[in-house]
Structure 1
Amino acid sequence: MMQIKKTFIIPVAIMLVSVLITMALFRLKNDQPKRKHITRSKIVEARVVQLKSIPTEITVYGRLVSSETVSLVSEVSGTIERGTVPFLPGQSFKKGDLLLKIDDRQVRYDLNGLKSDFLNALTAVLPELNVDFPEAYRTYQDYFERISFKQPLPSLPEASDQKIKLFLTRFNVYKLYFSVKNQEIRLSKHYFYAPFDGSIVSADLRVGSTARAGSKLGQIINLGSLEVEAPVPAQDIGWIDLHGTVQLTSSEIPGRWNGKIARIGKAIDEKTQSIPVYIRLNSRGQKPLYSGVFLTAHIPGKSVDNAFMIPRRALYGKSNIYLIKDGKLEYRPVEVLRRQAGEVILGAGIQNGDTVVTEILQGVAEGMPVKMRSASDADQAGGRQGSARQ
């Protein structure tokens, strides 16, 4: 009997002790003070709005080329002879330099033969003029003395009287005069003088070669008339400030250059929907550039009044931004006046004093508590990053 009682009492006692211990622990837990839940504000980068006039800019790319590229084509036949500068690719020259010439002996002899016939005609008409028109005789006598076989024929004096004109016509003076001038034009086609300061791009025929009518001799460019042809999106054409100075840069050549808008095309490229804009390079006093180099052109645009600029990353959707208002996030639609490289210009929808978030936000919602990042916050963040790197 006693054995049965022990078997029953021991488990009951263990259960009672367990219950008492559990109750004591529960009371002890309830007696501990509860921690208050603290909501921390997210720190974000932001800017305070100050509306002002903002200049715009259009960034485009193009290749520098000469606006004056001249192909030298022979209109006569003959052997090519040396000029005053070597006719070789890359050779520079000055305006008026003789680039090359084509053997002119035959044409020059024909010209002098015509001049001789012209002098004979004047010799025949001068005695007649001396008798009937002594005043005109002195004029034509001086003209006769000024004619040289080595110089171009001077302009024929104008006949002051109809009878003088008849005399000159009867002795073939006019006919021979124009024959000589025509032969002088033929002679001039044997010489190729530089029309500007420039460089030889190509030399298709060299000295000693035989040129024929229609033969391409080479190509030259004007180094003082360089321009960039840059395609500009059609929607940006209206923003261009035609009188502003264009800044030009190159990824291959260090430096900056200035230019001006020379002209704007009148047709849209069907494939790119862009319009060519031609920028004339101002080469005076600037580091020389080479034809063919690719340049980046920063074209000044028209200014926008009462506007504010933010990074493109701070724009959500097509025209929405986040603001900080009373310590909380606010999602607001705004007017986007212009989009340009890395930035957007805002108009209606914001006002002076608004705080616009300028960083990319993820996993946030309107009404979420936020705080604008201060200088001390930035320093602390930088210190933590430095410690992590160490």
Structure 2
Amino acid sequence: MLRKIILSVLGVALILGAFLVANYLIANKHKPKPVVPKVVKTVLVQNVQNTTVPLVIAANGNLVAKERVELYSEVQGIFQRGSKLFKPGQKFNRGETLIRLDASEYYASVQSAKSDLYNSIAAIMPDLRLDFPEVYQKWQTYLNSFDLNKTTPKLPEISAEKENYFITGRGIVSAYYNVKNLEQRLGKYRISAPFNGILTEALVTEGSLVRSGQKLGEFINPSVYEMEVAISKSFADVLKEGEAVRLTSLDNLKDYQGKVSRINGSIDATTQTITVYIEVEHEDLKEGMYLEAQLDAEKVENAIEVDRNLLLDSEEIYVIKDSLLDVISVKPVHFSDEKVVLKDVPNGTLILKKPVPGAYAGMHVKAANTSEIPEAVQ
């Protein structure tokens, strides 16, 4: 009997609990869902005004001295000490002796050949007096001006045919040119500075034996430099010699003014680029310095310049219409490291000034600088 009472009470309790749960669920079925507040991002915008945009080509390279001489020896001899040391960094003025080799032995052979020439001419003087009295005086004058310690003077001009046969038959002309050849070679024992400059490389020292064909060093003019840069072939018809170029040192951020000195006439078949040479002068510059060049190529009419990260892969940019983001197609005409030049963007269009993370077409935004927003858009 007690068992039946307990079961009856539990049954009533279960029915009552189910009734209460059902009423609770029914009461909460029509409760309104919480409203998620809509987030509107604030963005920087700009009002498009198409203008003429100059295209600037960025390039870089290392400076090389425009005037450079590699020193080689054409003769053999002992390197003699000069008035200045033959060391890197040593400065020389135009005409000063860079290198002097011992030429005493060779100098003696030159003097011997000059003496033989003098004797050969002196030997024919009696015959000239008898057979060619009209030319005797000019040859006598030549002998009187002949100085073994100076450069051999040019032979008198031979005017008559008989005189030519007579002089040539005595070996005078061949002896003269033999002497001049020896004198030319004697001059190669001394190498002088072709311009005011500085020695950048020295491969020999005083007292060492220098052999024919041996490289001795390098000599440059440190006042004028050139930089070789590679430019896309598409700019081959717009770059001109003499155009100003702004050069920037990446180390100290200094600017230097240069100009286009030469443009290669051929295009590199591998890279499809042309080589442009930029000339620059400044006392702070050194050979081997790395500089960045900014070349003015051409001007693009009715275009704008924006950050590259504003251009989408689909060649579109975001615009703002009625506080919503939208996209329009554009035509990029030139890319630089950070900027891109665009065409086909109507004047008055409101575009982003800085990229917006997570942006999409239809996104609600708020312009930060509302003063630039046209009334029609507001």
Q: TM-score, normalised by structure 2?
A: 0.79
- What is the distance in 2 between the residues matched to 1:329 and 1:241? 43
How far does residue 134 in structure 1 lie from its aligned partner after superposition?
4.8
**Letter of the structure 2 residue corresponding to residue 104 of structure 1:** A
How far does residue 279 in structure 1 lie from its aligned partner after superposition?
1.8
State the SS of the aligned residue for 2:298.
coil
State the SS of the aligned residue for 1:303.
strand
Q: Which residue of 1 aligns with 2:336?
A: 340
Q: Which residue of 1 aligns with 2:347?
A: 352
- C-alpha deviations, 1:144-180, integer Å up to 9, x for none? 3332222212222332222221221122210111011
Q: TM-score, normalised by structure 1?
A: 0.77
**Letter of the structure 1 residue corresponding to residue 340 of structure 2:** V
- What is the distance in 2 between the residues matched to 1:258 and 1:146? 55
Residues 233 and 267 of structure 2 are in contact (CA less than 8 Å); yes or no, is this contact kept in structure 1?
A: no
- What is the distance in 2 between the residues matched to 1:259 and 1:333? 39
Q: Is the counterpart of residue 311 in structure 1 residue 338 in structure 2?
A: no
Residues 197 and 224 of structure 1 are in contact (CA less than 8 Å); yes or no, is this contact kept in structure 2?
A: no
- What is the distance in 1 between the residues matched to 2:163 and 2:305? 82
Q: Which residue of 2 aligns with 1:214?
A: 213
How far does residue 181 in structure 1 lie from its aligned partner after superposition?
0.4
- What is the distance in 1 between the residues matched to 2:283 and 2:299? 30
- What is the distance in 1 between the residues matched to 2:346 and 2:40? 24
State the SS of the aligned residue for 2:257.
strand
State the SS of the aligned residue for 1:153.
coil
- What is the distance in 1 between the residues matched to 2:65 and 2:104? 35
**Letter of the structure 2 residue corresponding to residue 351 of structure 1:** P
Residues 114 and 180 of structure 1 are in contact (CA less than 8 Å); yes or no, is this contact kept in structure 2?
A: yes
State the SS of the aligned residue for 2:358.
coil
- Cα gap change, 1:369/1:207 in structure 2, threshold over 3 Å: closer, same or farther? same
- Cα gap change, 1:125/1:47 in structure 2, threshold over 3 Å: closer, same or farther? farther
- Cα gap change, 1:109/1:322 in structure 2, threshold over 3 Å: closer, same or farther? same
Q: Which residue of 2 aligns with 1:90?
A: 89
- Cα gap change, 1:354/1:130 in structure 2, threshold over 3 Å: closer, same or farther? farther
- What is the distance in 2 between the residues matched to 1:210 and 1:336? 65
- What is the distance in 2 between the residues matched to 1:276 and 1:128? 67
- What is the distance in 1 between the residues matched to 2:40 and 2:135? 107
**Which of 260, 263, 287 lines up with 2:283 in the alignment?**
287
**Letter of the structure 1 residue corresponding to residue 98 of structure 2:** L
Q: Percent identity?
A: 33
State the SS of the aligned residue for 2:220.
strand
- What is the distance in 1 between the residues matched to 2:110 and 2:129? 28
- Cα gap change, 1:318/1:121 in structure 2, threshold over 3 Å: closer, same or farther? farther
Name whichever of 100-109 and 319-328 sits farther off: 319-328
- What is the distance in 2 between the residues matched to 1:56 and 1:368? 34
How far does residue 358 in structure 1 lie from its aligned partner after superposition?
2.2
State the SS of the aligned residue for 1:301.
strand
- What is the distance in 2 between the residues matched to 1:51 and 1:158? 78
How far does residue 208 in structure 1 lie from its aligned partner after superposition?
1.0
- What is the distance in 2 between the residues matched to 1:62 and 1:316? 31
How far does residue 136 in structure 1 lie from its aligned partner after superposition?
3.6
Q: Which residue of 1 aligns with 2:195?
A: 196
- C-alpha deviations, 1:242-295, integer Å up to 9, x for none? 43211122133553222222334435374x6654432222x2xx3331111211
- C-alpha deviations, 1:335-355, integer Å up to 9, x for none? 1111112111112x2122222
Residues 84 and 99 of structure 1 are in contact (CA less than 8 Å); yes or no, is this contact kept in structure 2?
A: no
**Letter of the structure 2 residue corresponding to residue 309 of structure 1:** E
- Cα gap change, 1:133/1:323 in structure 2, threshold over 3 Å: closer, same or farther? farther
Residues 121 and 172 of structure 2 are in contact (CA less than 8 Å); yes or no, is this contact kept in structure 1?
A: yes
State the SS of the aligned residue for 1:261.
strand
- Cα gap change, 1:168/1:248 in structure 2, threshold over 3 Å: closer, same or farther? same
- Cα gap change, 1:129/1:48 in structure 2, threshold over 3 Å: closer, same or farther? farther
Q: Which residue of 2 aligns with 1:268?
A: 268
- Cα gap change, 1:311/1:241 in structure 2, threshold over 3 Å: closer, same or farther? farther
- Cα gap change, 1:68/1:370 in structure 2, threshold over 3 Å: closer, same or farther? same
How far does residue 331 in structure 1 lie from its aligned partner after superposition?
0.7
Name whichever of 181-190 and 159-168 sits farther off: 159-168
How far does residue 236 in structure 1 lie from its aligned partner after superposition?
5.3
- Cα gap change, 1:197/1:269 in structure 2, threshold over 3 Å: closer, same or farther? farther
- Cα gap change, 1:269/1:84 in structure 2, threshold over 3 Å: closer, same or farther? farther
- What is the distance in 2 between the residues matched to 1:186 and 1:173? 20
Unaligned runs of 5+ in 1: 1-18, 24-28, 30-36, 378-390
**Which of 316, 322, 325 lines up with 2:318 in the alignment?**
322
**Letter of the structure 1 residue corresponding to residue 293 of structure 2:** A
- Cα gap change, 1:109/1:372 in structure 2, threshold over 3 Å: closer, same or farther? same
Q: Which residue of 1 aligns with 2:179?
A: 180
State the SS of the aligned residue for 1:302.
strand
Residues 80 and 103 of structure 1 are in contact (CA less than 8 Å); yes or no, is this contact kept in structure 2?
A: yes
- What is the distance in 2 between the residues matched to 1:167 and 1:195? 42
Residues 223 and 283 of structure 2 are in contact (CA less than 8 Å); yes or no, is this contact kept in structure 1?
A: no
Q: Is the counterpart of residue 298 in structure 1 residue 294 in structure 2?
A: yes
How far does residue 362 in structure 1 lie from its aligned partner after superposition?
3.3
- C-alpha deviations, 1:100-133, integer Å up to 9, x for none? 1111111111111111111122223344444555
**Letter of the structure 2 residue corresponding to residue 246 of structure 1:** V
Name whichever of 319-328 and 54-63 sits farther off: 319-328
